[in-house]
Amino acid sequence: MDLAASRVLTERGLYPLAIYHLLQGYEKCIKSYFIFKEVTINNTPEATVYAYLRTRLGHDTDESTVNLLKDIADIEKHKYEIMLPNTTDLNIRLGLQNAIAAIDNYKTSLDRVVQRLNLGTNYPNNVRNYSQYVRSRYEYYHNSVHTLIVNQPDMMFLNTLLCMVALYPCLYKMVSITRYPAIEFAYDNLNLLGNELESCQRIIEMLQDLITLASNELK
């Protein structure tokens, strides 16, 4: 619903509202993905997972999204760690060990991305140069996916996480920036986002990829 709304709003040139609905769609997607992983892999009751999300995250996708991405990675890592002691085939053991190492590398790279981007300090400048910023995240996503397919073709869930990581900075603080004039932009932030056709199209494409990737794992 949010993705469809963002497409319509983009076509009509209502870019701040389109970005807001893209944020809403992103938030719902990562939470749903986490619930699916926690329930199917760890056999956690759905009610327990919902309660966890409400108390830990609420509707905050600014600071807590990174922790949620790490939680998802840990669920996958735990799955492989459980399989490892009972696996005697050397090739399968090597594959499991490589999977665990790849997940650890992903978590480390996630921390590096957060530190390098320093969103808490840099987001006003990112919004002022939003087209360029979204383009850089879009290119990062496609380059990272290509590298992943070449180096880790059997670990496509990492593709899903990479898509989440690429989208996260594009939507940082957008729950308020897209709806209310903000003092850090001299109350001009809605105008700053008023001509972002290509940015919206790129985010729509990445969010559609994310939904498709996550849906494929549900099958």
Range of the domain at 12: 2-218
CA 92 to centroid of chain Cα atoms: 30
> What DSSP state is assigned to residue 12?
T
pLDDT in tens, 142-185: 888 767 655 665 667 888 888 888 899 999 989 889 988 888 88
pLDDT in tens, 50-92: 888 887 765 555 667 888 888 888 998 998 999 998 888 888 8
- When divided into structural domains, the chain yields a total of 1
Q: Which H helix or E strand runs over 179?
A: none
Provide CB contacts within 8 A for 168, sequence distance 6+. 26, 61, 65, 66, 69
Say whether pTM exceeds 0.85: yes
CA 219 to each of CA 25, 36, 140, 206: distance values in angstroms, whole numbers, following the listed order: 20, 11, 28, 20
